[in-house]
Structure 1
Amino acid sequence: MIEARTLYLFCSAAPPVFDVARVVEDAQARGWDVCLGLTPSAARWLEPSLDGLAVLTGHPVRSAYERPGDPDVWPPADALLFAPATFNTVNAWALGLTGNLVVGVAAEAVGRGLPVVAVPCANAAYARHPQFDRSVETLRAAGVAVLHGEGGHLPDPSGPDRPDHFPWAPALDAVEAAYRAR
């Protein structure tokens, strides 16, 4: 019998988010039940696709906290992948600023000791900001596998990365490795 595993796939508003349906399918092929969460901006970017993504995952796509007393519509997570994670998201997460659902749930996942992987997506100018390196190191020190730099995401010097440059397969491989190591 195959073990049921739930992956929370969280995405910020960066160009690789437009490839999220293929990533969901890849994760499902690896045996994951995928719940898709988006920052509010990413939800606006994908608005025409949200119903189809909900059908693909079998779960509502979420971008906002539920109201107090409302039941959670997702099963509990076994692992979390936050990709793409923008400059703003990485910094908010590292600083514990949980003003949106996906950053709040990601922060809580770290505290619960879940396997968590993040793939920042920031252009070279953002990546040179001093807070960015501090935030990446803070997340790593908290146990998050951050795929940034060699072996992960390398910022595009000319601007935001296109989806074909984004390391989706290594990100899913890192989730598998973190899940097995737990």
Structure 2
Amino acid sequence: MRDQPVQQSRKPFLYIVVCAAGIAGDVGKLITAAQQAGWDVGVVATPNGLGFIDTAAVETRTGYPIRSAWRLPGEPRPLPPADAIVVAPATFNTINKWAAGISDTLAVGILCEAYGFGIPTAALPYLNAAQAAHPAYRQSLDRLRGMGVMIGSHRPHEPGAPGAAAGFRWEEALELLTPAPGGRA
């Protein structure tokens, strides 16, 4: 019997898509929880989302550059392919563009393609009640659910409410992606 090369089993890879919301600066909580749960993690930020996170800290924690813009032809892919995707915080703007198939940023483009690739995707909405009252938002959530996207339970907060981020459960994203015993996620 010949010696067989040892196959390296790689950790599953999780993309965290970060949108522009005040709570985005806490994405390290989700990164840490995902890594503790056995995921390798890369972050994709919307262009405006970049201003809400500490890019150096996120890149140090994940070991990967944050993606926010498309690669040029011939440039290597900076992240491995995603095994799952979490959008957190998922803003009103991103949810509506994603549901409508408006792929005008790398982040939303990745989300639109994820459906076609069958990549499990979870979203943790974070928006205020005035935005959530708009009929497009409910229609967008319905469309995303119909596409198989798992939507978190965080309730919209009052506009300008202090402490609105206090009840945001970053770990819910991982709970949504974890299959229930004997069934699907």
Q: Would you say same fold, with TM above 0.5?
A: yes
Q: Find the structure with the greater CA-based Rg.
A: 2
Aligned positions, number: 175
| 1:74-153 to 2 correspondences below 5 Å | 74-147=79-152, 152-153=153-154
Structure 2 residues without counterparts, runs of 5 or longer:
1-7
What's the CA shift for 1:2? Answer: 7.0
| 1:34-113 to 2 correspondences below 5 Å | 34-46=41-53, 49-113=54-118
CA distance in 2, matches of 1:81, 1:34: 10
The change in CA–CA distance for 1:2 and 1:159 in structure 2 (over 3 A counts) is farther
CA distance in 2, matches of 1:22, 1:119: 14
Structure 1 residues without counterparts, runs of 5 or longer:
none
Is 2:29 aligned against 1:7?
A: no
The one-letter code matched in structure 1 to 2:78 is: V
What's the CA shift for 1:45? Answer: 2.3
The one-letter code matched in structure 2 to 1:169 is: E
CA distance in 2, matches of 1:2, 1:106: 26
SS at match of 1:9: strand
TM-score by length of 1: 0.89
CA offsets, 1:110-157, max 9 Å, x none?
Answer: 11111100111110000000000000001110111112xxxx010012
Partner of 1:165: 167
TM-score by length of 2: 0.88
Q: Which has the higher helix share?
A: 1
Preserved contact between residue 123 and residue 150 of structure 2 (Cα < 8 Å): yes
